[in-house]
Homo-oligomer: A and B are copies of this chain.
Amino acid sequence: MKIVIDMMGGDNGLEATIPATKNFINEHKDLDIYLIGSIKELKENFNESEHIHLVESKTIVKMDADPMSAMKDKESSLMVGIKTYLDNNCDAFISAGSTGALLTAATFKIKRMPGIIRPALITPFPTMIKNKRFVVCDLGANTVCNKEELNQFAIMGSIYYKSLFSDQENPRVYQLNIGTESEKGTEVNKETYKLLKENKDINFLGNIEGRDPLFGEVDVLVTDGYSGNIFLKTMEGTAKAMSSMLKKAFKRNLLAMIGYLFSKKGINELKETMDYKNVGGAMLIGINGVVIKAHGSSDPKSFLSALHVAYKLVNVDIINKIKEKI
């Protein structure tokens, strides 16, 4: 398996990517790995070998860079990474850098799969049921979508779900909407409802509101990137706010602190479940290769989790599975 890692992207850059990559290399012995970044630091941390390639990049694409201009900087870790990916016929590319720049560069250089209208961002999320996840597609790659695009998101989302999780033979697909009835929402929502209902390749169960996916009934949540992004960030913000309120509640006096010690195990498990850093990387699904966007504020743990997602998706050959269906 040939994997390219942008070591410089993300808010924490090498501080996150170096420890994560070391762990990853130790866990998997079947890797041909290309690390892109400042050569000095890479050499200090990794021994070049037949299977570990260190590739120099000179610049870093800013997190808020304009995607089209970013593509012109050929010496950035992003663009050197994509060139390395293409030149060596690799299987996966992982970056914690700017989502827009990664999406644009991947679409133009690695290109879409044949038949795919637009690639989308997809990732799994926790639910309150232990170990049960659901996936959301699109999380923000496409601000406005039409019904054909959303229909492809439903197909790709179902394949992605089955590739990562084995609890559902026919993943339960829902459309994110502001009510459950078929005629709810925008004109696109109504048209998409009909198209998804007719699609025999997926198990479409109807519309669902933002309040329900966390309770475990949904496997694939289909949405345009705008609403998907609002959904994702609201969930993230609410979980973060409640976790810090919880922390404060346990610190209000000695008794409460003792209370925390007694109930620590369950409480930490709850915080762990709802910590979106554990979610790992979002796949740019629809691109002709496994391209993973790690969280911009990745720490070593979440970057490692993005690497694991890439490994698993290459291993199950998700790209060919999607090609068969589209």
Contact = CB atoms under 8 A, between A and B. Distances in A.
Given A143-B178, A186-B144, A259 B249 contact: no
A276 to B, nearest CB: 9
A186 B224 CA distance: 12
Interface residues on A, range: 35 or more
Interface stretch (A33-41, A260-268, A277-285): A260-268
Interface string A136-178: 0000100110000000000000000000000000000000101
Contact of A128 (B209, B245, B259, B264): B245
Given A238-B239, A262-B259, A230 B231 contact: yes
Contact of A178 (B128, B230, B246, B250): B230
Contacts of A209: 229, 233, 237
B267 A249 contact: yes
Number of copies: 2
Nearest to A273: B245
Interface in A206-251: 209-215, 225-227, 229-242, 244-246, 248-250
Among A238, A248, A274: residue with most chain B CB under 10 A: A238
Contacts of A128: 241-242, 244-245
Given A265-B252, A266-B248, A266-B252, A241 B127 contact: yes
Interface of A: 64, 127-128, 140, 143-144, 176, 178, 181, 185-186, 209-215, 225-227, 229-242, 244-246, 248-250, 252, 255-256, 258-267, 269-270, 273-274
